Amino acid sequence: MPKKVRIPTPLRKLTNNEELVEVNAATVGDAIAELQSRYPGIQERLVDEKGEVRRFVNVYVNEEDIRFLKNQQTPLKDGDEISIIPAIAGG
């Protein structure tokens, strides 16, 4: 069953300008791998050489930062929405 991933503007060149992409993955980490299989090159934009989510990339599942959940092991259920958002400055 599909989960939705919101693709941020800087990555839409890789997704043929798709803003919302559906995946079937069971975890956030699997979702990134699934994106990579469909849109080659997207994985290295999101995770570093050690496999960690990059320092300036924030990933949310249903509006909750995955660092408050189980990071890339965060489980996904049907209808979940993943957002990928660059870290931004304060105010």
The footprint of other proteins (CB under 8 A) covers: 6, 8-11, 13, 45, 54-58, 60, 63, 65, 67-68, 83, 85-91
- Least separation in angstroms between residue 12's CB and other proteins is 9
Nearer to other proteins, 1 or 17 (CB): 17
Q: Please state, in angstroms and rounded to a whole number, the distance separating the CA atoms of residues 27 and 23.
A: 10
Rounded to 5 degrees, φ, ψ at 31 are -65, -40
- Least separation in angstroms between residue 35's CB and other proteins is 15
Q: Please state, in angstroms and rounded to a whole number, the distance separating the CA atoms of residues 32 and 7.
A: 11
Tally the C-alpha atoms within 13 A of residue 75's C-alpha that lie toward its C-beta. 2
Nearer to other proteins, 39 or 60 (CB): 60
Nearer to other proteins, 10 or 75 (CB): 10
- Least separation in angstroms between residue 74's CB and other proteins is 14
The β-bridge relationship of strands 20-23 and 3-6 is antiparallel
